[in-house]
Amino acid sequence: MSIDYIRNFCIIAHIDHGKSTLADRMLELTNTISSRDLVDQVLDDMDLERERGITIKSHAIQMKYRANSGDMYTFNLIDTPGHVDFSFEVFRSLAACEGALLVVDAAQGIEAQTLSNLYLAIENDLHIIPVINKIDLPSAEIDSVKNQIIQVIGCAEDEIYLVSAKKGRGIKNIMEVIVEQIPPPTGLADNPAQALIFDSVFDPYRGVITYIRIFEGKFNKNDAIKFFQSSKQFEVDEIGILKLKRHPVDSLQAGEVGYLISGAKDVHETKVGDTITLVKNTADKPLLKYKEIHPMVFSGIYPINSDDFEHLRESLDKLYLNDSSLVFEPETSQALGFGFRCGFLGLLHMEIIQERLEREYKISIINTLPNVVYRVHLNNGDIFEIDNPTKLPPPGKINYIEEPYINAQIITPADYIGNIMKLSRDRRGVFVNTQYLDTSRVDMNFKFPLSEVIFDFFDKLKSLSRGYASLDYEMDEYQRSNLVKIDILINGEIIDALSIIAHKDKAYEWGNRLCRKLKELIPRQMFEVALQAAIGSKVIARTNVKALRKNVTAKCYGGDITRKRKLLEKQKEGKKRMKKLGSVEIPQEAFLALLSMDTDN
């Protein structure tokens, strides 16, 4: 196959703007898949993804397209994830392409996520084809969206293409535009081999399957290969192209996209973003400068039932095989026993891991409030980082604490500027600038402490903008902050798992809120339960859960003692699903609900 007939591209779109539907139509048009087989949005194949309507893991698929010219082209559509937690995945997916379709919803306009991904694409020198989707919607504002696009990428109005992916309108035209506008790959089969890993998954039967884009050289089955980052060497067991399933071939060469299976046993040996080369015809450098991804958000994960600790470890190990950005290490909490401190890219990533543990691995878990990594400067000059509030040294030893900040970009209809400014003040945001994308859409930039954003910020933003505002962020620097540790005491006992670090100005508010929320969540017990929030030895908030006053069965059913005993046994079983903190039993839901606590009331 001549390299000139290959087109490698991706689709940049906000969630729900129709990326997956557009992809489906392309697959149908090229007979890659029949519409009968098409489970909606085939590119998202995890249940969780389909439910959330977001693509978490990027995949690729190959199509054969006969152009109007009569020539047969090979299209490799490389899927990109669409959520802020996964922007690094977007980056390497983009790096594997020569072009991108920028898909914008005709009714919604450009969103923050789209914009930041678009900038990444432009940075990567991708040819951009702007597409407005959902043009048949009654609420479509095609002219306004055109203006936004022109404003952002500086194209001409007639370079913007209109489609309705749902109805299949304009798709064929897009296919021709891809052929005409996206440049074919460059690279030579004889050059020292370089393939970019843009994704990898762990398969229990085959080991790691890497998804690759070959830039230079040629890879054959049985070739000895080397991973730049890990320096590990393996042999190519199987190499092939990606249709709906994997199709093995004898070799892949420069310009092609496909998969490669070697003896690698976990995804950490085959890091995404790394370059593969041949042992014999070794390239002198990798394609991309490798960037290690650091987790931003940490939370303790504990089994509800302490007997499940080993099962939890095994399950995390399995998730780790497939998720190079998950980190975890064992930790012990006085309150919760043995568990793991886990690091995540962001809140969504955290939720996904939690849900997968519960759904796929059937473990009931408790997770602690998420926190960021704080940098603690001690009086003696030592500096260290903590990922768990309980590790904060006593105040007397601390000189000052720094916390991570982010650069946040919020794109919103102008109507909500006021609301967003208020939210930003509430969350200790620093306003940077505002830029009008058109007369009604604004691109607002802020700096926020990350800790203020990991906690329901996104939901807040959505609700105060009726769902219109969108958020994207990237890490900024650490900044010094006036932070304190708030402990929660239940019946006078500090519950380590509930300690948080908060800004001093917000400490009272947080203390009150945690106490109030716990009061709601802790079922009444035999005794009154005192709840306190304290900074050091100073109590800043208190409340209590009144004692249970009545719970007695009136009668014992005419000698039917079995029924009463079974009921007691069942209730006892229910109690096992609670965590005993000191003398108080707390349902798992209490911890979960703390996570979803409404922070602005």
Partner 1 sequence: MNISRKSGLYIHIPFCRSKCGYCDFYSIEDTSLTSTFINVLLTEIELTASQVKVKNQFDTLYIGGGTPSLLSTNQINDIINTISKYFNLDNDCEITIEVNPGTLDPTQLKQLSDLGINRISIGVQSFIEDELQLLDRIHTTDESINAIADCRQVGFNNINLDLIFALPNQTTDNWNYTLKKALSFLPEHLSVYNLTYEKETPFYKNLMEGRIHRLDEEKEIEYFSIAHSLLTDSGYKHYEVSNYARSEFYYSRQNYKYWQHVPYLGFGPSAHSFWENSRWANIRSVSGYISKLRQKELPRSFKEKLKTHQLISEHIFLALRTYQGVFLIDFERHFGINFLKKFVRETQELIDNKLAIIHDDFFKLTEKGMLICDEILLKFTVE
**Tell me, what amino acid is at 438?**
D
Closest CA to 389 of 404, 367, 374, 405: 374
* CB 100, min distance to partner 1, A: 56
Indicate if the alpha-carbon torsion angle 409, 413, 417, 421 is positive or negative: negative
Locus of tokens 């397209």: 65
Q: E strands within 18-136?
A: 60-66, 72-78, 99-105, 127-133
Q: How far apart are CA 498 and CA 350, in angstroms?
A: 18
* CB 583, min distance to partner 1, A: 7
* CB 557, min distance to partner 1, A: 8
Q: Which is nearer to partner 1, 280 or 576 (CB)?
A: 576
Closest CA to 392 of 494, 247, 246: 494
Locus of tokens 């678009």: 118
Q: Which is nearer to partner 1, 90 or 529 (CB)?
A: 529
Q: Which is nearer to partner 1, 384 or 527 (CB)?
A: 527
A 10 A CB-CB count for 332 gives 12
Inter-residue long-range contacts of 497-500, CB under 8 Å, 24+ positions, other chains counted: 497/300, 497/302, 497/333, 497/335, 497/336, 497/366, 497/368, 497/581, 497/591, 498/335, 498/368, 498/369, 498/594, 499/389, 499/390, 500/369, 500/371, 500/389
* CB 132, min distance to partner 1, A: 50
Q: Which is nearer to partner 1, 127 or 524 (CB)?
A: 524
H/E run at residue 531: strand 529-535
Q: What are phi and psi of 141, to 5 degrees?
A: -125, 75
As beta bridge partners, residue 478 has 404
Residue 10 to residues 62, 90, 129, 163, 249, Cα–Cα distance (Å): 12, 10, 10, 17, 23
A 10 A CB-CB count for 72 gives 11
* CB 559, min distance to partner 1, A: 4
DSSP state of 427: T
| 322's tokens | 């497939």
Q: What are phi and psi of 355, to 5 degrees?
A: -65, -40
Q: How far apart are CA 168 and CA 185, in angstroms?
A: 28
Q: What is the total residue count of the chain?
A: 601
Locus of tokens 């790691």: 208
H/E run at residue 357: helix 347-359
* CB 545, min distance to partner 1, A: 14
As beta bridge partners, residue 248 has 240
For 478, how many CA atoms within 13 A lie in the half-sphere containing its CB? 16
Q: Which is nearer to partner 1, 139 or 562 (CB)?
A: 562
Are 337 and 301 in contact by the 8 Å Cβ rule? The answer is no
Q: Which is nearer to partner 1, 231 or 562 (CB)?
A: 562
Q: Which is nearer to partner 1, 319 or 522 (CB)?
A: 522
* CB 305, min distance to partner 1, A: 14
Q: Which is nearer to partner 1, 395 or 574 (CB)?
A: 574
Q: Is 557 exposed, middle or buried (0-12, 13-18, 19+ CB in 10 A)?
A: exposed
* CB 529, min distance to partner 1, A: 12
Q: Which is nearer to partner 1, 396 or 559 (CB)?
A: 559
Q: Taking the chain, what is the end-to-end CA distance rounded to the nearest angstrom?
A: 62
Q: Which is nearer to partner 1, 39 or 568 (CB)?
A: 568
* CB 496, min distance to partner 1, A: 22
Residues that bind partner 1 (CB under 8 A): 525-527, 548-562, 564-565, 568-569, 571-572, 575, 583
* CB 552, min distance to partner 1, A: 4
Indicate if the alpha-carbon torsion angle 562, 563, 567, 570 is positive or negative: positive
Q: CA 552, 555, 557: angle at the middle one, nearest 5? A: 135
Residue 503 to residues 370, 449, 506, Cα–Cα distance (Å): 15, 10, 5
Q: Which is nearer to partner 1, 1 or 568 (CB)?
A: 568
* CB 551, min distance to partner 1, A: 5
Q: Which is nearer to partner 1, 537 or 571 (CB)?
A: 571
Q: Which is nearer to partner 1, 245 or 550 (CB)?
A: 550
* CB 335, min distance to partner 1, A: 18
* CB 553, min distance to partner 1, A: 6
